[in-house]
C-alpha cells in the first residue's frame, strides 16, 4: 500500500520554492508533509499532497520538473531504539534505505515516510513486525 510522493527538482535560488508553493495553492493542492534537501546549485523538494496527480500536472504546465514516486508511510511508537529495531531486518536483507523524513499525523506516535530500493519487501517486513502502514486515503484525511 504505497503513497504517491511528489518530487520537484529546483534550482537553489531565491523565490523558486515560493513559485512551487504558489502553483500548488492556485490549484488547490494541500501539502501534508514535505522535505527539502539542497546542494549549492540544486534542491529536491519531496511532498505528500492531497492530490498528487493534479499537483504533478500543474507543476509540469508551469515549467517545473517533477515526478511521482511510490513511498511507504509508517506509524511507530515513541520508544528508544524503535526505528532501528524496525529497520534492522530491511538493512540485514541489504535493502537500501534511500531516504526518510518525518510525517506529522496529529497523534501520539511517530510517523515516517521512507523510500527503499525494494518497497514491497520493506512493507512485508514492517507489517510482519506489526508496524502500521499508512494508507494513501489517510494522507488526504490528514489535511482536515
Please identify, among 70, 94, 117, the residue that sits at the C-terminal boundary of a domain.
70
45 and 77: one domain?
no
Give residue-wise pLDDT tens across range 90-101.
Answer: 888 889 999 999
Strands (E), the chain: 3-11, 31-38, 42-49, 65-76, 97-102, 110-116, 132-133
Range of the domain at 17: 3-70
| pLDDT value for 73 | 92
| Alpha carbons 90 and 11: distance in angstroms, whole number | 33
List beta partners, residue 133: 74
Measured distance CA(63)–CA(116) in Å, rounded: 28
Both 93 and 36 in one domain: the answer is no
Quote the number of domains for the chain: 2
| Residue 24 sits in the same domain as residue 47 | yes
Q: What is the CATH number of the domain that holds 116?
A: 3.30.2130.10
| DSSP state, residue 134 | P
| Residues 64 and 77 reside in one and the same domain | no
Give the model's pLDDT for residue 93: 85
φ/ψ of 79, rounded to 5, equals -150, 135
Give residues with Cβ within 8 angstroms of 99, minimum separation 6.
35, 37, 46, 114, 115
Q: pTM to 2 decimals?
A: 0.86
Residue 142's pLDDT is 66
Rounded CA-CA distance 21/77 in Å is 32
What are the pLDDT digits (tens) for 43-66?
Answer: 899 999 999 999 999 999 999 999
Q: Are strands 97-102 and 42-49 parallel, antiparallel or unpaired?
A: unpaired
**Which residues of the chain have a pLDDT value below 50?**
144
Amino acid at each position: 500500500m504505497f503513497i504517491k510522493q511528489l518530487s520537484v527538482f529546483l534550482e537553489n535560488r531565491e523565490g523558486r520554492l515560493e513559485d512551487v508553493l504558489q502553483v500548488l495553492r492556485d490549484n488547490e493542492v494541500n501539502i501534508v508533509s514535505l522535505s527539502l534537501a539542497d546542494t549549492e546549485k540544486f534542491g529536491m523538494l519531496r511532498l505528500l499532497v492531497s492530490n498528487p496527480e493534479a499537483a504533478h500536472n500543474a507543476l509540469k504546465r508551469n515549467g517545473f520538473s517533477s515526478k511521482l514516486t511510490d513511498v511507504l508511510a509508517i506509524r511507530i511508537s515513541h520508544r528508544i531504539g524503535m526505528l532501528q529495531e524496525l529497520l534492522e531486518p530491511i538493512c540485514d536483507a541489504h535493502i537500501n534505505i534511500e531516504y526518510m523524513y518525518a510525517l506529522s499525523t496529529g497523534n501520539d506516535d511517530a510517523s515516517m515516510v521512507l523510500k527503499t530500493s525494494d518497497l514491497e519487501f520493506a512493507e512485508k517486513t514492517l507489517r510482519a513486525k506489526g508496524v502500521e502502514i499508512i494508507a494513501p486515503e489517510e494522507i488526504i484525511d490528514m489535511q482536515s
